[in-house]
C-alpha cells in the first residue's frame, strides 16, 4: 500500500475532525520520521510536544514488552506496583502530595475542574463554583475542557457551553482581580499558552495570580499538559518562577506517546476526592505507568534539561537573526524547546513548504509557527531548519 491509497481509505472511514497534512507516517527514530515511501523528515512537532524523548527511544519498548508480559490491566479496584511507583515519583519531584491518573489531557482537566469545585463546596458551600480561565487558552476538547478554553473557534457549534467559567485577558492581573466575586473558586492558567500562540507570562504574573488566590481563598490550577515534562528546560514550567499551584494537570509527554493523563494536587485539596467521587477505567494502567516511570526518570536528568535550555536559547537566536531580515516576522518567543515565530502573513503555506523540504513544523493561532521538537534535537538539526525557513521566507517575501 502507498500513501495515496492509505489517505483515500482514511478519508472514507475515519471522522474528518483533523486538518491533516497529506502525509502518511510509517516509522520514526529519534528526531526523524519516515513516510510510507521512505522519505525522511526532521520532526519539529513531536506529536505536539508528546515524544519528548524522540521516536522509539532505545529501551522503552523493552519496558513496554516486559510489563505487557506481566500485567496489562486489572481495573482500579486493585492496586498495582507501577501505578504506585509513578505516583510516588511524581509527588517526589513536584509540589503535589497525591495524583489521580486518567488517559488524556482533557480528562486531567476534567478532574481538576471537578476537584476544585468539590473542594470549594466542601469548605465554602455550594455557591462557589466559577473558574476564572484565560483568553487564548486551550484545555482540551471535552465539554468542560472547551468551556474552560478561551478561544471562540473551539466553542463554535457546541453551545451552550457549561456554566461556571469566566475568561479574562492573559497576562492582565487587574482583569483577573476584577473577575473575582463570591462565586469564584479557582483560577486556571497555562504557564505558557502553547496552542494559543506560544504566549509567555510576563514577569511576576504567576506570582500575582498566586497572591490573588491566597487573598481570596481560591485554588490555583496550572495546565502543564503541553509545557511540562522538561519541555521548557525545567521538569515543570512553574519551577522557572518557583510559584507552585494547588492543582496541576499533565499528559502528552508523560509516557512519550502512550495515552496517559495525570492530575496532581496538594493533600488538603486532593482529599476532597473521596471514594466514588471520580474514576477512570483505564487511568493508570500498569502498562502505561511502567513506561511513564521510565520516561520521568530519563527526562528528569540535569544533562538533558540543561541541553533543552541550551538548544532552546540557540534556536531563539537563530530565529531572531531571521527576524532581522524579514519584516513580516513580528515576534520570536519561547522558553526551552517550545518556540513560536509570529508572522504578519498566514503560516500554513510556510508549513507546507517546509514539509516539502523535509521538515515537519506546524502553525497555531493562524500566524504563529510553533516548534516543539523532541528534546534531543541538535544544533545541526536547528541550523538545517533555519536554513530551510530562510529559503521559504525568501519566496514568501
DSSP H or E run through 65: helix 60-70
Q: Give catalytic status of residue 95 as yes or no.
A: no
Catalytic residue (one of 44, 100, 165, 223) = 223
Q: Give CA–CA dist 343/338, Å, rounded.
A: 16
Nearest to 264 by CA among 112, 145, 110: 112
DSSP result, 1-34: --HHHHHHHHHHHS---S---S--EEEEEBTEEE
330 catalytically annotated: no
The SS3 call for residue 377 is coil
Burial degree of 1 (CB within 10 A; 0-12, 13-18, 19+)? exposed
Catalytic residue, candidates 100, 101, 138, 170: 138
Q: Is 223 designated active site?
A: yes
Q: Do residues 209 and 189 touch, judged by C-beta distance below 8 A?
A: yes
Q: What are phi and psi of 186, to 5 degrees?
A: -160, 160
Residue with cell 458551600: 125
End-to-end CA distance of the chain: 39
Find where cell 493523563 sits. 261
Cell triple for residue 349? 503555506
- Which one of 95, 165, 236, 252 is the catalytic residue? 252
Q: Is 326 helix (H, G, I), strand (E, B) or coil?
A: coil
**What are the cell numbers at 90?**
511524581
- Active-site positions read 138, 223, 252
Amino acid at each position: 500500500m502507498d500513501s495515496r491509497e492509505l489517505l483515500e481509505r482514511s478519508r472514507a472511514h475515519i471522522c474528518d475532525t483533523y486538518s491533516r497534512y497529506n502525509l502518511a507516517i510509517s516509522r520514526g527514530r529519534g528526531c526523524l520520521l519516515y513516510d510510507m515511501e521512505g522519505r525522511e523528515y526532521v520532526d519539529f512537532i513531536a506529536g505536539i510536544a508528546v515524544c519528548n524523548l524522540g521516536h522509539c527511544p532505545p529501551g522503552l519498548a523493552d519496558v513496554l514488552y516486559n510489563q505487557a508480559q506481566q500485567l496489562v490491566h486489572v481495573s482500579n479496584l486493585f492496586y498495582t506496583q507501577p501505578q504506585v511507583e509513578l505516583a510516588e515519583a511524581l509527588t517526589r519531584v513536584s509540589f503535589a502530595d497525591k495524583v489521580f491518573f486518567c488517559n488524556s489531557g482533557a480528562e486531567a482537566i476534567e478532574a481538576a475542574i471537578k476537584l476544585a469545585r468539590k473542594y470549594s463546596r466542601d469548605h465554602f458551600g455550594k455557591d462557589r463554583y466559577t473558574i476564572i480561565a484565560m483568553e487564548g487558552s486551550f484545555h482540551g476538547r471535552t465539554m468542560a475542557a472547551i468551556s474552560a478554553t478561551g478561544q471562540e473557534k473551539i466553542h463554535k457549534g457546541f453551545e451552550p457551553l457549561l456554566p461556571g467559567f469566566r475568561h479574562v485577558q492573559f497576562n492582565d492581573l487587574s482583569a483577573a482581580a476584577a473577575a473575582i466575586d463570591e462565586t469564584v473558586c479557582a483560577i486556571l492558567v497555562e504557564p505558557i499558552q502553547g496552542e494559543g500562540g506560544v504566549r509567555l507570562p510576563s514577569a511576576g504574573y504567576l506570582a500575582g495570580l498566586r497572591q490573588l488566590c491566597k487573598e481570596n481563598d481560591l485554588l490555583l490550577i496550572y495546565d502543564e499538559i503541553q509545557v511540562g515534562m522538561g519541555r521548557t528546560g525545567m521538569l515543570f514550567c512553574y519551577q522557572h518562577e518557583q510559584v507552585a499551584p494547588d492543582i496541576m494537570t499533565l499528559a502528552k509527554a508523560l509516557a512519550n506517546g502512550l495515552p496517559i493523563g495525570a492530575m496532581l494536587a496538594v493533600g488538603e485539596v486532593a482529599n476532597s476526592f473521596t471514594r466514588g467521587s471520580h474514576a477512570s477505567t483505564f487511568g493508570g494502567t500498569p502498562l502505561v505507568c511502567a513506561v511513564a516511570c521510565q520516561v520521568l526518570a530519563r527526562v528528569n536528568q540535569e544533562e538533558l534539561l540543561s541541553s533543552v535550555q541550551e538548544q532552546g536559547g540557540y534556536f531563539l537566536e537563530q530565529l531572531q537573526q531571521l527576524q532581522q531580515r524579514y519584516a513580516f516576522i513580528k515576534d520570536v518567543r519561547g522558553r526551552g524547546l517550545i518556540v513560536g515565530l509570529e508572522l504578519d502573513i498566514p503560516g500554513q503555506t510556510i508549513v507546507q513548504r517546509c514539509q516539502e523540504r523535509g521538515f515537519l513544523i506546524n502553525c497555531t493561532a493562524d500566524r504563529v509557527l510553533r516548534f516543539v521538537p523532541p528534546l534531543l534535537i541538535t544544533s545541526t538539526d536547528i541550523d538545517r531548519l533555519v536554513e530551510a525557513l530562510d529559503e521559504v521566507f525568501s519566496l514568501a517575501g
